Amino acid sequence: MTRLAVFGATSAIAGAVARLYAAEGASLFLVARNAARLEALAADLRARGAAAVTTAVADLNDLDRHPELVERARAALDGLDAVLIAHGTLSDQAACEADAGLARAELTTNFLGPVSLLTALAPVMERQNRGSIAVIGSVAGDRGRGSNYVYGSAKGGLGVFVQGLRHRLGRSNVAVTLVKPGFVDTPMTAALPKGGPLWAKPERVAADIRRALDRGPAVLYTPWFWRWILLIIRLLPDAVFRRTRL
């Protein structure tokens, strides 16, 4: 029986991943901020087949609580086969440009938060000498763009951190994967105009993440075509890139 811990469980992508594990009869540990929503999620996963669901209400911006939450997850599940780190916000770029305090807060949520959590998690996984971790990054971290470089820099920094952690934990048979979703039709992206072939459903992205947690690739672009879109964007010479409005 698989044991999965999810941090940021009420996000649409994390919820869809948890459902896939529940249908397999997994045991789950869920962390989110809103107690009522977390309970609704847990009841759903139990009815859909999860062997057991334990919850912890916590604001993951409260970095000091991370070691305690990791320990509770490990104890509740008696070991961790898979961990998904999914909390985050899509920053309002214009507001961050006008307010350095807001930019710092966004970097705390999207960069320092996962870094703190992963730092608490790493020794637990090392001692187990097995398991896999998936961290939600973003295609926005691949190249700084005028339209969202605050969010992009948090996700880009997180990408380098995850890369290094993967290198370190590889010696302990622990796979760490950076997940880079493209446009996903979730509440986080509600303010963007939607539709067209680039937009994916959270269920589609979740199925990719589920597979990655078994196979442990370094990077997962989801859906797959973003790997090639981002390759082109990264390779654009600066002289060309400057003229785009990406």
What is the contact mask toward other proteins in residues 21 to 40, using x (rule: CB under 8 A)?
A: --x----------x-xx--x
Distance in Å from the first CA to the final CA of the chain: 44
21 as an active site residue: the answer is: no
Give the Cα separation of 13 and 88 in Å (integer): 11
Nearer to other proteins by C-beta: 54 or 128?
54
* Region for 196 from its dihedrals, namely left if φ exceeds 0, alpha if ψ lies in -120 to 50, beta otherwise: left
Q: Per CB under 8 A, which region of 46-54, 101-109, 138-146, 226-234 contacts other proteins?
A: 46-54
Regarding 231 and contact with other proteins (CB under 8 A), the answer is no
Regarding 95 and contact with other proteins (CB under 8 A), the answer is no
Nearer to other proteins by C-beta: 10 or 177?
10
Regarding 49 and contact with other proteins (CB under 8 A), the answer is yes
- Residue 82, phi then psi, degrees to nearest 5: -145, 140
Give the Cα separation of 161 and 234 in Å (integer): 19
Among 41, 134, 150, 179, binds other proteins (CB under 8 A): 41
Q: How far is CA 187 from CA 12, 72, 141, 201, 226, in A?
A: 7, 29, 20, 11, 21
Among 78, 101, 171, 191, binds other proteins (CB under 8 A): 191
Regarding 12 and contact with other proteins (CB under 8 A), the answer is yes
Question: Which residues carry out catalysis?
Answer: 151
